[in-house]
Structure 1
């Protein structure tokens, strides 16, 4: 049995049918913006390997940090013990995170970071004398991960609610913000969507928190909305004793052209979930950060401890990788890089606006999307990758890229050409 045959018979890939596993490329190595297949074909990773590989594959500063740490301390439990990589990373995180974010809980993955954030919200409300506040409100077309509680706040139609009806918790869903990021803000709450949030919170006293992806909805449709919505949501949540959770697993660390989605706003959340690009994509890691109000509220309530503790929490290898990635971001080149990506892709993708079947073309920071009026096939896009020299994986009606920040102008042009071709042929 060849390696690929073994893969198809025994390895279950994400969102696949084992009876029809679909085409799969075997990657032998990767560096910078490129992945190399076992037959020698080189493809630009236009997905940043699901949005995490900001600084390119095998970044020398990050890989050196992992190698150096491996020789000292690959892992140790975080219960009753600590270590310098966790402490040093914590210092770096507090340098870049919104100022009120002061308490860091290290996690294994983005989905777990969301689970932790939701548990924090419920436990805070319980400690605050509001034990009935155990549910959540969120916006439609959102995505927050595939684990159990995170899945309950994913879109109820495009998510997996219909499959797990009766098992997944029932939450409150409101329409997504109606004002797009570049449109003029409308202060009328009935028009901008905030009225529905206000009405939902007024009518229900069992809501612990409002959770959403700031500025950009990722897997729910690559929708870019106006930051003023978040400013208004903060005020409404405060008026009703509801916490505000920002899931920045996709938008964090410069992807929107600002370091965090919160930087587009005038406010800060109570809880911030980070992942994906935290380690520059080199090893799985995430964190949930909260303010003193939430952390001390939990600590002063029953049972007096926060009820979560992953085995691989604060893994030293991941902490070292994350610290190195944040040091690269601190150099500031990401700002020039994302500005260049936005400017170049806006120009190069403009012709798609005239294509038949194209509903919208939008670019923000290091995100570029061609939205079509029909569902596209990821497998078909996959089959064109060797011809375009770019690995892309569309979903729904969105043909998109989140390229590594380190892409050169020529590499970006190749990605743009691939997006245009897929928009014409899929």
Structure 2
């Protein structure tokens, strides 16, 4: 019997992987807290929360217990014409922590589909009201909202979606409103809104563009962009898939602004990383546009596992943990540690570093290449392999290395990761 890596290589196609050049996948056999363990017993600190999903640590006993209890009661039921306690309770809990104008919860099964639902809600909202021409979307350039066709259409045009461009609908892009580009983005928004009768929605990753390189911008300019859109009746969609549930230091990134979006999209940390679940929430006004004697005005969207009871139970358990005072204290401590480490790097004026960015529990370091941000920078492979050797899972975005750890990481492990980052920067 060959080892797990070799068996995997014979039968599995992995995501975001060029199998012609990639090494065998590392076989993980168990996980606990911030640690992953491979079949040889090597331990890795999960410094990216396994693609940004894990909030409280792996194999959390509280979440596991709640899911196990639910499994013995009800593991799955069709969600058209039926309902169940975990779905209703989760919707109530989510609406309790979202802005008060959010009224309805639509369940799906991952981040991309939560965005697809939001886009369909926005476009069909105007269609149902007789404004069929309002079907264009405004989005921030450099964005990433998923890999399905609707989400690719509103994401950045890149090598990720180049083969599919002929099939993607037109999107109106704004400059990313980073320092120095705020007014350019505002001016572009005003220009697009001159033809507001063609615009259905404005979608954005609030304050941090994740896959685009952990690009960060300020709440004030987002507030202005949302206000401009809402003034023209454009539906605003917050992609809180990565930023939700405390990642930016507040429950949601849009908690930093006063003017709230009309639709929220959530996934990733929603279940604490335990299993797949997507949520799209909206206002009562949007929901009401789908109420009609005419069945053709129904939102025709579903998934076989819509509102899966196990996933909803995991999300409820994760919220229990997230709202504990000690978890909130961990979030604050993690932010403070990142700030202090960022200040240290800036004080050292490391020649290898172009910039250091912190928002809440997210730390991003842009390594100097002379070519700006590049997803295909060879620094990515150098850094990835360096940190793996050190027992750290860190998956750089090109020349951007970043930390997005579970909240439960201890200071000793965090200090070790910081030290390894400094070692890499000096080595580089």
Q: Same fold (TM over 0.5)?
A: yes
Paired residues for 1:188-337 under 5 Å: 191=183, 193-203=185-195, 205-300=197-292, 303-337=296-330
Structure 2 CA distance for aligned equivalents of residues 150 and 386 of structure 1: 31
Residues 80-113 of structure 1, C-alpha deviations (whole Å, 9 max, x = no match)? 1111111111111111111111100011000000
Paired residues for 1:74-85 under 5 Å: 74-85=75-86
Alpha-carbon contact 1:254-1:260 (below 8 Å) kept? yes
Alpha-carbon contact 2:388-2:394 (below 8 Å) kept? no
Aligned residue number for residue 127 of structure 1: 128
Alpha-carbon contact 1:22-1:379 (below 8 Å) kept? no
Aligned residue number for residue 100 of structure 1: 101
Aligned residue number for residue 412 of structure 2: 410
Note closer, same or farther for the CA distance 1:265–1:301 as it changes in structure 2 (3 Å cut).
farther
Structure 1 CA distance for aligned equivalents of residues 81 and 391 of structure 2: 49
Structure 1 CA distance for aligned equivalents of residues 186 and 119 of structure 2: 22
Structure 1 CA distance for aligned equivalents of residues 129 and 326 of structure 2: 43
Residues 123-170 of structure 1, C-alpha deviations (whole Å, 9 max, x = no match)? 1011122111122110111110011100111112x4534222211222
Structure 1 CA distance for aligned equivalents of residues 144 and 266 of structure 2: 14
Structure 2 CA distance for aligned equivalents of residues 301 and 293 of structure 1: 17
SS for the counterpart of 1:164 is: helix
SS for the counterpart of 1:166 is: helix
Alpha-carbon contact 1:136-1:209 (below 8 Å) kept? yes
How many Å apart are 1:23 and its aligned residue?
Answer: 4.6
Note closer, same or farther for the CA distance 1:291–1:393 as it changes in structure 2 (3 Å cut).
same
Note closer, same or farther for the CA distance 1:309–1:347 as it changes in structure 2 (3 Å cut).
same
Aligned residue number for residue 49 of structure 1: 50
Structure 1 CA distance for aligned equivalents of residues 422 and 117 of structure 2: 40
Structure 2 CA distance for aligned equivalents of residues 411 and 348 of structure 1: 14
Structure 2 CA distance for aligned equivalents of residues 364 and 169 of structure 1: 33
How many Å apart are 1:263 and its aligned residue?
Answer: 0.6
Alpha-carbon contact 1:362-1:368 (below 8 Å) kept? yes
Aligned residue number for residue 423 of structure 1: 425
**Across the two proteins, how many residue pairs are aligned to each other?**
417
Alpha-carbon contact 1:279-1:285 (below 8 Å) kept? yes
How many Å apart are 1:367 and its aligned residue?
Answer: 0.3
For normalisation by structure 1, the TM-score amounts to: 0.93
Aligned residue number for residue 352 of structure 1: 345
SS for the counterpart of 1:287 is: strand
Note closer, same or farther for the CA distance 1:240–1:204 as it changes in structure 2 (3 Å cut).
closer
How many Å apart are 1:13 and its aligned residue?
Answer: 1.2
Aligned residue number for residue 372 of structure 2: none
Q: Which runs of no fewer than 5 residues in structure 2 stay unpaired?
A: 370-376
Paired residues for 1:26-37 under 5 Å: 26-37=27-38
Aligned residue number for residue 398 of structure 2: 396
Structure 2 CA distance for aligned equivalents of residues 321 and 159 of structure 1: 35
SS for the counterpart of 1:253 is: coil
Runs of 4+ residues over 4 Å off in structure 1: none
Aligned residue number for residue 39 of structure 1: 40
Residues 168-195 of structure 1, C-alpha deviations (whole Å, 9 max, x = no match)? 2221111011338xxxxxxxx9736212
1:370 to 356, 365, 371: 365
Q: Which runs of no fewer than 5 residues in structure 1 stay unpaired?
A: 181-188
